[in-house]
Structure 1
Amino acid sequence: METEQQNKLPFLDIAIDNSNNQLTTSVYRKPTYTDQYIQHLSHHHPQIKRAIAATLARRTNTICSPDLLQQEVDHLKTTFIKYNGCPKNLVETTIKKTLQDQVQRPPKPEPSLIRINTPYVGPISQQTQPSRLAKPAKLCYVQIVRGGIRQSPTQEAVYIN
């Protein structure tokens, strides 16, 4: 179990600082942390190298308090440029784009109706209970005829799990 030392408590990847009776958060790094990631000259796909910087920038943006964010971003830039040999332009562009995308991300759209085609089987098909289903869907009864499927005009909005 972790204990508080010098008003700081490490919790998962977060360093929680409780100085001046105000909680601030930053990225926690273990004492054995070496700032080593994939070297820029290694034989990995360029997208993998950019993704590592983008993921760490996203983590920094999510975890850090606003007053410590720039300090952590500067640490990331130093880590990738100085210790991992990445070009300064690539690192700065990747981090800047990642932080801007976090701010400008639009809300997720509402899920659309799911269409379910089921064969009509007389009274059994009439027993479909929309109240037992969880997501909105359109239920379409179809007739299977020789040479293909013919859809009936009856469509009901039902809910599926």
Structure 2
Amino acid sequence: HYAAKHGSTNVLNFLFQSNLTVYETDIHGNTIAHEASEYNQIDSIKLIWKMHQNLFKKKNHFGRTPIHTAALFGSSKVLHYLLELNIIDIDQPDNDGCTMAHLAASRGHGECFSCLIIHGAQLDIYTFDRHDSVMDVAKRSGKYGRIEKARSGTLRCNSFK
């Protein structure tokens, strides 16, 4: 996990070659792909994708894949890269019914939110517990202004070309 989190691709390569701890999870059920996604470690993500693509469909204890993790933590380079691979449904909810768009909106990650919209994320999906839309989550979290800029196109995904 440390190697993925800190972008140590040489260490990751060694682990992959020896099959050591590749599938281990932390106390929250996060894999090395989740860790690399959280810390926007694009080189680690590319290496993990090359060697163990199945890790990108693994859910942690919150029902979140590494792509959800990238959206939640504002890891725009990783998010864009993984969305381009079309690994999972962009509107796949976590255990609470939050999609990647809900997660990005909850923390005001406008670049990630823009990237999700460009890739076709729906904004009219509601969470299981509070029945909040994506924009409801942005309002409640105090991040509506930044998310509205991303929705309207004035704030864009830095990774989109």
TM-score for both structures, normalised by structure 1 = 0.26
Bigger Rg over Cα? 1
Q: Compare relative contact order (CA 8 Å, sep 6+) and give the higher one, 1 or 2.
A: 2
More helix by share: 2
